[in-house]
C-alpha cells in the first residue's frame, strides 16, 4: 500500500488542500515502474514532486489516488497552456495558440497540404481550418496556392515570414518547457521523460471490459 497524507498547513486553494504527499514506500516501486506498470507510473509522478518532503502525516490514505492523479494531470495541462501562452505573448508574434498549432502542423508536411488534410491532422472541422488559414494569411504567415495537377484544389504553404514565426514559436516552447521543468534535476527529467513516453504511447489496444467469467467480450 502507498500511504498519503495532506500537506501540513495546506488550505483549500488550487495549490492547497487537494494535494496529497506520498511517502517513501514508492521508492521500492521504481523498478516496477520502469517495467511498464502504468498505474505505478502515474503514482511515481506524484512521488517525484514530493519525495523531498520529510513531514508526512502518517496513517492517512487517499480514497481515490487515480482521481487525484487525474486532477493533477489536468492542472498541469492548464499550467502548461498558461505558460506557453505567456511566452508567445512576450514575443508579440500576433498569432493565437490555435494558429501556432496550425503552423507547426504545416511544418510536418513535405509538400503543401490541402485544407482537408489539415482538418484531419488537427482533428477539427474544415470550417475551423478555413478560419485559421484566413487569419494567418492576413498576417502573411501562409498563402493559398493551386495544386499543379488540379488547379481547382487549393493547398496551403508557409511563407518566409511564416517560417521565421515558426522558429520563434519553437524558441517560445523551449523557454516554456524550461520554466515548467526548472524544479526537476537531470535524473528526474529523464524519469519523467520515460513516464511521458508511456502515457503518450498508451497501450497497443484499448482495454476491454471483462465479462462475468473474467473473460473479455
Same domain, residue pair 10 and 84: yes
Residue of 169, 36, 37, 5 whose CA lies nearest to 91: 169
Is 71 part of any domain? yes
43: containing domain: 4-88+184-201
List, for residues 174-183, the tens digit of each pLDDT value: 999 999 999 9
Residue 112 clears pLDDT 90, i.e. is over it: yes
Same domain, residue pair 53 and 99: no
What's residue 206's pLDDT? 62
Own/partner contacts of 38-45, CB < 8 Å, gap of 24 or more, are 38/198, 38/199, 39/66, 41/195, 41/198, 41/199, 42/66, 42/69, 42/195, 42/199, 43/2, 43/69, 44/191, 44/195, 45/69, 45/72, 45/192, 45/195
Question: Model-level pTM?
Answer: 0.56
Same domain, residue pair 84 and 31: yes
Residue 179, SS3? helix
Same domain, residue pair 84 and 99: no
Same domain, residue pair 29 and 79: yes
Same domain, residue pair 75 and 35: yes
Is 39 part of any domain? yes
Question: Per the structure, how many domains does the chain have?
Answer: 2
Is 167 part of any domain? no
What's residue 16's pLDDT? 40
Same domain, residue pair 59 and 123: no
Residue 121 clears pLDDT 50, i.e. is over it: yes
Is 215 part of any domain? no
Contact 103, 166 (CB under 8 A): yes
Same domain, residue pair 68 and 102: no
Is 56 part of any domain? yes
Is 125 part of any domain? yes
List, for residues 60-93, the tens digit of each pLDDT value: 554 588 888 889 989 999 999 899 888 888 888 8
Is 109 part of any domain? yes
Same domain, residue pair 84 and 12: yes
Same domain, residue pair 152 and 194: no
- Residues 22-29: what's their mean pLDDT? 42
Pairwise pLDDT comparison (61 vs 130), residue with the higher score: 130
Is 62 part of any domain? yes
Mean pLDDT of the chain: 75
Same domain, residue pair 62 and 105: no
Same domain, residue pair 75 and 13: yes
Amino acid at each position: 500500500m502507498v500511504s498519503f497524507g495532506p500537506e501540513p498547513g495546506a488550505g483549500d486553494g488550487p495549490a492547497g488542500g487537494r494535494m496529497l504527499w506520498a511517502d517513501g514506500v514508492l521508492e521500492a516501486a521504481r523498478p516496477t515502474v520502469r517495467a511498464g506498470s502504468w498505474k505505478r507510473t502515474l503514482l511515481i509522478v506524484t512521488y517525484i514532486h514530493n519525495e523531498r518532503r520529510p513531514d508526512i502525516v502518517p496513517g492517512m490514505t487517499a480514497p481515490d489516488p487515480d482521481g487525484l492523479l487525474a486532477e493533477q494531470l489536468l492542472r498541469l495541462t492548464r499550467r502548461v497552456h498558461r505558460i506557453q501562452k505567456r511566452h508567445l505573448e512576450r514575443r508579440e508574434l500576433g498569432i493565437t495558440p490555435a494558429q501556432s498549432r496550425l503552423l507547426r502542423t504545416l511544418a510536418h508536411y513535405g509538400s503543401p497540404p490541402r485544407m482537408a488534410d489539415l482538418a484531419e491532422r488537427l482533428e477539427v472541422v474544415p470550417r475551423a481550418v478555413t478560419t485559421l488559414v484566413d487569419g494567418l494569411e492576413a498576417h502573411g504567415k501562409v498563402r493559398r496556392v493551386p495544386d499543379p495537377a488540379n488547379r481547382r484544389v487549393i493547398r496551403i504553404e508557409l511563407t518566409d515570414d511564416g517560417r521565421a514565426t515558426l522558429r520563434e514559436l519553437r524558441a517560445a516552447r523551449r523557454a516554456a518547457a524550461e520554466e515548467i521543468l526548472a524544479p526537476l534535476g537531470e535524473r528526474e527529467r529523464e524519469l519523467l521523460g520515460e513516464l511521458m513516453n508511456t502515457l503518450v504511447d498508451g497501450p497497443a489496444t484499448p482495454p476491454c471490459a471483462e465479462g462475468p467469467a473474467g473473460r473479455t467480450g
